[in-house]
Each structure stands twice: as structure tokens, then as C-alpha cells.
Amino acid sequence: MYGVAVAETAISRIAADGSLSYRGYAIKDLFERASFEECAFLILEGHLPNREELDTFVSGLHSRRKVPKNVYRLMEELPPTSDPMDILRTAVSGVGAAEALLPAKEQEYSLIAKMPTLVANCCRIVRGMDAVEPRDDVNEAENLLHMLTGRRPDSFEVWAFERELILYLEHDLNASTFTVRVVASTLADVYAASTAGIAALKGPLHGGANEASMRMMLEIGSPEGAMPYLKEKLSQGRKIMGFGHRIYKTVDPRAQLSKDMLKRLLAHKGGDGRLYRVAEELERAMWELKRIPANLDFYAAPVFYALSIPIEAYTPIFAASRSVGWVSHFNEQLAANKLFRPDSIYVGQHELTYVPVEQR
Ligand code: COA
């Protein structure tokens, strides 16, 4: 079922011409000029922060980044073969259990502040590495990138990564955000709603697409390999990850911003630009064959790759950023709450007679 309006929202808008805005500000403008923290505040509070509001918000995030030790133990108890998204989902439940008695507003800020710490550490745990503590002297992007890669990124890398986090912050009623609103409508807490959001995001038709796109680009390896690869997979009826969107049918504006970021990042890092050429040729060939555009996940993936982030962290990174949108939708739902309880169309059998098991 699609195309049915189930809520009113003032958080983000995808206009009929395919342009995206957060709280009325064009994504392109925010992408070029704003910080992640400013955009997060905007999405949560409905207006851009003044200096004092921003400073308070930032220091509030910094002071809440650390995760209770028992949550690390919970994460480490899971099999080392676990998917990081499964560890993340469990960890958010763990934080929720530990913070059940906090006031609701506190819970929301705590969750948003802790998500990067949880994301970095669930990705470290599957690599057999010890948990790492967050820093409290750098912004969200630098902190997360540092924890994920174990090295101090340069300022351009931080800026590039921050741009991707801004693109992932919020996107109207996508599958995970809708899931969050359904759970919110039952008056469950923000951890329960976000755990459900993480579960929905994991799937390859949603957040899981960025990791699948990267693995595809690496498998193809060269621009010449793109067209034959697509023809083969499409002839088998396979979906190509990182392409297509329920709303964007000609261009995903976030993908184009991300593509530009990839070009600039690869130029900054030096190298032969092969990754960019593979991605661009895949995009061109997919358009030629199917008239299906690349989406954000397709171009965010090689940006993360160029930043030396392990592939299994891409979907968790999406979750860390999108948690801001989830929390904002959680509150918007509660502000005018009505329990979601849609109807279905019954297509089953009628008026059958029960027969005892021995007689069937
Ligand atoms: N690869 C191959 N074919 C695709 C495709 C893709 N990535 N995306 C859509 N199509 C095909 C559909 O199979 C359908 O074909 P059909 O008419 O022969 O059955 C046709 O294009 C129209 O699809 P549509 O109904 O408009 O798309 P949708 O709204 O059902 O699907 C997605 C949207 C996102 C679920 C879909 O594009 C997809 O699965 N993409 C890959 C996963 C992905 O990148 N997800 C992240 C989204 S941000």
C-alpha cells in the first residue's frame, strides 16, 4: 500500500518537484552552510538555534555521550558474528531499560547523544575490538568518525562526513519513521519506538541499501564492468541496491549532493578516482536501461568508503543520524496523538465449520 497520507507533519517536505526541505529550509542550503548540530536542533525544535541555544544544545549532547558499562556488557554478550544493526537494536533497548525513570525530554536527548557511541561500538565489537569512549571536545561528526576509524580525521574529512550526516537526518514518513510513529501512538517510550525504527531500517530496501551498494561497486571494480553487471542482474529479475525511490522518480536531490561530495573528497584524498567513475557509470547505465535514478544510499556509500569507514557501519551510521528525525516525529505524533489502527481488506475464506483434529 502506498501514497496514502496517514499524518500531518511540519518537519520535512518533499515537494512535487522533488525538492527536499527541513522545516522550510532547502536541503541544499543546509548542506552547504549548516552544521549537523544546527540541523538537528532545527529538526527537533522547529527553528534554527541562536548562539546561546546552540551552545546549550551542543554541551548537552557532549555531556550525555557516555554509555553505561552494563550496556557494553550486554552488547559484548551477543555472538561476535552478529550484524551490527542487531547489536545496536539490543543496545538501544538496554539504554532504555537503564534510563526508564528519566523524564521524557531527558530520555530523548540522551538517546540522540548516545547513538554515535553505540553505533561506533557495535561496529567495533563485531571486529573483536574493545569498546571506545566518546570524546567530549569535538562535534558529532568528528567524534563518530574518530570512534569508527580509530584515527583523527582531517578537517575536510570531518566536513564531508558531516554533510552526509545532514542528508541522513530526516526524510518524512519513510518506513522506519512511520514505524516510530506507530509505536509512539501506543504511548510506548522513545527507546521502544527507536528500537522499532532500527529494526525497520535494517532491511536492504531501506537503510541496508548503502552497504549493499558499496559491496556491488567493489564487486564490479571498473567502469567497464557496470553495464554487463546490470544487464545480468536485471535479466535475473534482481533489484539493484541504491537505485529507485518510492517518491523520487527522476532525481534524488540528496544523491546529487552526495555525488558532488564524493568527487570533492576523492580529489582531496588524491588517487585515480576509479571509485567515482564506477559509481557514475553505474548511475548512467541504470538510467539508460531502466530510467531509475540513484538514491542517497548509492552515493553516501562511496563517501563512507573513501573515509575508510568499515562497510558494516554504513547502516548504523544512517541510524545514528536518523534518530534525530525519529525523535522529532515521536514528539509530533504525541502532540496530537491518535492510535494508529488501520483497516485491512479481508480476502480470506468465510463461514467454515470447525472440524476436530482427529477428523481432519
Ligand atoms: N532495481 C531494479 N528494478 C527496480 C528497482 C531497482 N533498484 N527499483 C524499482 N525497480 C523496478 C520495480 O521492480 C518495478 O518493476 P515492475 O514494474 O517491472 O514490477 C518498477 O521498477 C517500478 O518500481 P516502483 O514501484 O516505482 O518502486 P517502488 O516504489 O516499489 O520501490 C524501492 C522503491 C526503494 C523499494 C525500490 O526502488 C528498491 O527496492 N530499490 C533498491 C533498494 C534501495 O536502494 N533502497 C533504498 C531506498 S532510499
Q: Which three cell numbers stand for residue 356?
A: 476436530
pLDDT above 90 covers a percentage of the chain that reads 94
Q: Which of 1, 172, 205, 299 to mutate to test the pocket of ligand 1 (most atoms within 8 A of CB)?
A: 205
In the numeric block, the cell 546490470 is attached to 230
Taking a C-beta distance cutoff of 8 angstroms, is the pair 165, 141 a contact?
A: yes
In the numeric block, the cell 574518530 is attached to 146
Can you give the residue ranges of every domain in the chain? 20-206+312-335, 209-306
Residue 2: predicted pLDDT: 75
The CATH architecture of the domain made up of 20-206+312-335 is: Orthogonal Bundle (1.10)
User: What torsion, rounded to 10 degrees, do the Cα atoms 56, 57, 61, 63 define?
Assistant: 10
| Alpha helices, DSSP H, located in the chain | 27-33, 36-45, 51-63, 69-77, 84-98, 104-125, 140-149, 155-168, 175-184, 190-201, 209-220, 226-235, 253-269, 274-290, 296-306, 314-335
Contacts of 26 (CB under 8 A, 6+ apart): 19, 20
Going by alpha carbons, the residue nearest to atom 2 of ligand 1 is 239
Rg (CA), the chain: 21
Could you give the count of Cα atoms lying within 13 Å of 171 in the half-sphere of its Cβ?
26
Q: What is the CATH number of domain 209-306?
A: 1.10.230.10
CB atoms within 10 A of CB 145: 27
Q: Which of ligand 1's atoms lies nearest the C-alpha of 246?
A: 29
Order of all β-strands in the sheet with 25-26 = 12-14, 20-22, 25-26
Q: Which of ligand 1's atoms lies nearest the C-alpha of 213?
A: 44
Centre of ligand 1 from the C-alpha of residue 298, in Å: 13
pLDDT tens-digit readout, 52-69: 999 999 999 999 999 999
- Tell me which residue of 184, 194, 211, 177 sits closest to 89, measured CA to CA: 194
Q: How far apart are CA 115 and CA 111, in angstroms?
A: 6
pLDDT tens-digit readout, 77-110: 999 899 999 999 999 999 999 999 999 999 999 9
Residue 16: predicted pLDDT: 86
Given a cut of 80, whether residue 27 has pLDDT beyond it is: yes
272: confidence class by pLDDT, cuts 50, 70, 90: confident
Going by alpha carbons, the residue nearest to atom 4 of ligand 1 is 239
Residue 271: predicted pLDDT: 78
The residues annotated as belonging to the active site are 245, 297
Going by alpha carbons, the residue nearest to atom 39 of ligand 1 is 205
Centre of ligand 1 from the C-alpha of residue 162, in Å: 28
Residues whose beta carbon lies within 6 Å of some atom of ligand 1: 205-206, 209, 239-246, 290, 292, 295, 297
pTM of the model: 0.96
Centre of ligand 1 from the C-alpha of residue 303, in Å: 23
Q: Which of ligand 1's atoms lies nearest the C-alpha of 243?
A: 7
